[in-house]
Amino acid sequence: MKKMVMLLVALGLAIGAGQGIAETAQKKKPDAVKKHKHVKKHVRRTALQETEGLALKSATALVMDQSTGAILFEKNPGAVLPIASITKLMTAMVALDAQPDMEEMLSISDEDVDTLRGTRSRLRVGTPLAREDMMHLALMSSENRAASALSRHYPGGREAFVAAMNFKAQELGLIQTHFDDPTGLTARNVSSARDLVKLVAAAHQYPLIRRFTTSTEYQVAVHGRAQLFRNTNSLVKSASWDIGLSKTGFINEAGKCLVMQAWLNKKPTIIVLLDSMGKSTRIGDANRIKRWVEHASAAQRLAAG
């Protein structure tokens, strides 16, 4: 009998303990649920903040109000990266600084053929074109052979040309920039977004560079046959954009690159996008920037009104 009583007491204690554990669990459950909901709210809030801000897919970006120098947006602006054919803006400036005869006929030679990456060109060896046409194709269609020909026909040749590119970079205060060739085919041509906004601003001062980089297409005679070349930036023919300067670039090490001077909300704006890996990422990022600037301006007017 005594053993039976002791067993019942122990059983009661166990039941009570079990009830206590269950009650404790019930009390803690709401806290755990609250915590879980808090995390979900935090995730949603973070996503909302990113949506309200500007989330770009390019690894490096910078947006600057050209009239004031104010930085509107930046993402890894100091990263030093290969810039591919953005190089050709400097190529054009150096060529023009020499004040050459733009009607002088230049010829594509074996030295202009890309042996580094094997890129193709419709400008066959022996093709004669005026210097102006060479520059037009180098800037608008990113013609590597044309850019190379411009450097060969510089006083002192290509070596002097590349030295002049680096000297001009120093003059412009491009402290994170270096050039090794006039085309951008080498990954040793590097710069940063901070430097490239200065480069774009400087290039924008040249009327020919503005005109050639924003023309949608251009036709030249190559060995007696008309050849139509098109701009590598599809945005130049978009009615929703007012672009004053444009240059694209691509090599594997650089990804897709794009620099532009454009008018956004009636203000001159410089956009730099580097290392965009997707096929259309740089164009998508440019359009995202445009919508973001326009939305911010509209919100400011609404707040002020």
Asked if residues 290 and 275 have their Cβ atoms less than 8 Å apart, the reply is no
Q: Which of 58, 75, 85, 247 is catalytic?
A: 85
Tokens of 98: 């020499």
DSSP string of 88-137, one letter each residue: HHHHHHHHHHT---TT-EEE--GGGS--SS----SS-TT-EEEHHHHHHH
Is 58 catalytic? The answer is: no
**Amino acid identity for residue 154 in this structure:** Y
Asked if residues 206 and 92 have their Cβ atoms less than 8 Å apart, the reply is yes
Secondary element (H or E) of residue 23:
helix 2-52
Residues 168 and 32: their CA atoms lie apart, in Å, by: 63
**Amino acid identity for residue 67 in this structure:** S
Residues 184 and 47: their CA atoms lie apart, in Å, by: 37
Is 192 catalytic? The answer is: no
Q: Which of 58, 121, 142, 192 is catalytic?
A: 142
Active site residues: 85, 88, 142
